[in-house]
Chain A
């Protein structure tokens, strides 16, 4: 019980902090909006992908991007907590490091999920066919995607001392994962082989493919079977949670 309560407490804290930061909530869907409205509209008139408009194509890619960027950004909370001393309060508490990591990870994932949901809602404004049932299917997939990504951010942050270096490393990881995920362009067909192979090592590729399969239905030809996609993402989550717990457990 002690451990579960610890996890809950830390989850609650992260979520509260996030919901109080109105600026962050508002600014966070601004960038996806730019991608969808300006970039998406611009490219849309240059061609279509299969039987999808470009906007329809990148919509779920942008959801993936939002989850990726937000999740990675959450690592900052660890550095922040260390800088302002709060991390010590957590680290001397009588709960295990696994629970500490899990609580933080779940809290940050919740924040990323809220962010993803906001962008998802924007899709209706762009004329993408969405309904409640689809949304309920998308929700757990988004969550599954964020677990692993948040864990990457937390793991890196626990090794890095300053906010500045975290920012640099973050962009080193964010953009390659984003570009090599099939978010912006199809990663099959008539493109160089390396651009087809590299994305297969990217967990986000499988996450976005799963989202497209669920949301676009017959209009989308999946890269992989939905279950296979979810299995890969889930496997990645487990690995990252193990690594993250290890990173949090190091005692000097």
Chain B
């Protein structure tokens, strides 16, 4: 009753940015989880927030979804202020939470009807919309089963379907594939890409999987300690790291590194046990000369591989640490998987 007309009235003004944040900050007992965040998400894009666990991704999303109050700063979603116009924000967004949020005692279809009613989807349209989203996530044949019988991936797909029923203009996907197996993950990626093609929708995706961000996002904001440290398209982020990365497995890496430094322009050197990693321009043409140098200096080379920088390198470059080797993150994923699987 309260919010019915608001949508149509404010819908008129055109917006270039689906989301804008202005020094958005959230503290928990003195700990700064999100630190003066300034991002602008353009209409129709998939925006990736990439960062390790605890970087502030979920906190950011929670504030944008109006579940959490910012400590300071402001933000708008679809032109609505998250603090002052929470109901309008809620009406215009869809959310797929990191943790499961479906009712496992109800059937898939019942969960979707409940959602449709909570978001006041016209009764006459409910059936067709629900059938459509069920088809989209390929759950038509399981729709009338109690959710307890669903696998983790099926629940996830149902949650994505649910997030779409009320035609949100912005869909938040918080770690959509955490704790899922590779096949299911692949499946969900395909859905997300399909959605972008077929729906007029903006998506904000958080992830700590490089591959996920690289594959899905139009632009990526790398977030660390609650701050955006880099923001660009995946390819441009990778381009900022000049050159190719050559990984050489050899016995005397130090000696080889010194010899190579005389022969070519090395942008960056990184030596770990038995492995020499150098960044060079035009790696392909330099390969023969690396082998040559090794032979001249009597260094036995086991293998050489050459690759272009990936997002992992980008992340390392900007934050000074790798995103992966974090025992917590794997455990976290497993916890999520467990929570999804039990019940």
Contact = CB atoms under 8 A, between A and B. Distances in A.
Contacts of B115: 89, 93
A106 to B, nearest CB: 15
Contact of A17 (B2, B93, B103, B117): B103
A188 interface: no
Interface string B106-127: 1000100011011110000000
B12 interface: no
A92 B119 CA distance: 10
B174 to A, nearest CB: 10
20 contacts: A2-B4, A5-B117, A5-B118, A6-B120, A9-B114, A12-B114, A16-B106, A20-B105, A84-B339, A84-B343, A85-B99, A85-B339, A86-B102, A87-B101, A89-B118, A92-B65, A94-B90, A94-B91, A251-B68, A251-B69
B62 to A, nearest CB: 9
Nearest 5 CB-CB pairings of A with B: A85-B101, A9-B117, A93-B118, A94-B91, A94-B90
Given A2-B2, A9-B114, A86 B103 contact: yes
B88 to A, nearest CB: 8
Interface in B65-105: 65-69, 87-88, 90-91, 93, 95, 97, 99-105
Contacts of B119: 93-94
Main secondary structure of the interface of B (DSSP, over half): loop
Contact of A2 (B95, B100, B104, B120): B120
Given A88-B67, A89-B102, A94-B120, 4 more contacts: A21-B105, A86-B101, A89-B97, A94-B87
A1 B103 contact: no
A85 B118 contact: no
Given A5-B117, A251-B69, A88 B101 contact: yes
A227 interface: no
B283 to A, nearest CB: 47
Contacts of B120: 1-2, 5-6, 94
A90 interface: yes
A96 interface: yes
A252 to B, nearest CB: 6
Interface of B: 1-4, 65-69, 87-88, 90-91, 93, 95, 97, 99-106, 110, 114-115, 117-120, 339, 343
Interface in A128-186: none
Contacts of A224: none
A90 B2 contact: no
Interface of A: 1-6, 8-10, 12-13, 16-17, 20-21, 84-96, 251-252
B118 to A, nearest CB: 4
A96 B114 CA distance: 16
A90 B117 CA distance: 11
A65 to B, nearest CB: 27
Central interface residue in B1, B118, B339, by most chain A CB within 10 Å: B118
A22 to B, nearest CB: 12
Contacts of B3: 2, 94
Nearest to A21: B105
A129 B90 CA distance: 54
A13 B106 contact: yes
B114 A13 contact: yes
A87 B70 CA distance: 20
Nearest to B340: A85
B2 A3 contact: yes
Central interface residue in A5, A87, A94, A252, by most chain B CB within 10 Å: A94
A17 B106 contact: yes
B90 A93 contact: yes
Nearest to B100: A85
B110 A16 contact: yes
Given A9-B118, A17-B105, A84-B100, A3 B90 contact: no
Contact of A91 (B1, B2, B67, B110): B67
Nearest to A95: B118
Contacts of A87: 101
B97 A85 contact: yes
Contacts of A3: 1-2
A91 B90 CA distance: 10
A4 B1 contact: yes
B102 A92 contact: no
B89 to A, nearest CB: 9
A86 B103 CA distance: 6
A84 B103 CA distance: 8
A172 B106 CA distance: 32
A9 B115 CA distance: 9
A13 B93 CA distance: 23
Contacts of A12: 114
B4 A1 contact: yes
Nearest to A16: B106
Contacts of A6: 117-118, 120
Contacts of A16: 105-106, 110
A9 B117 CA distance: 6
A2 B1 contact: yes
Contacts of B67: 88, 91-92, 251
Nearest to B111: A89
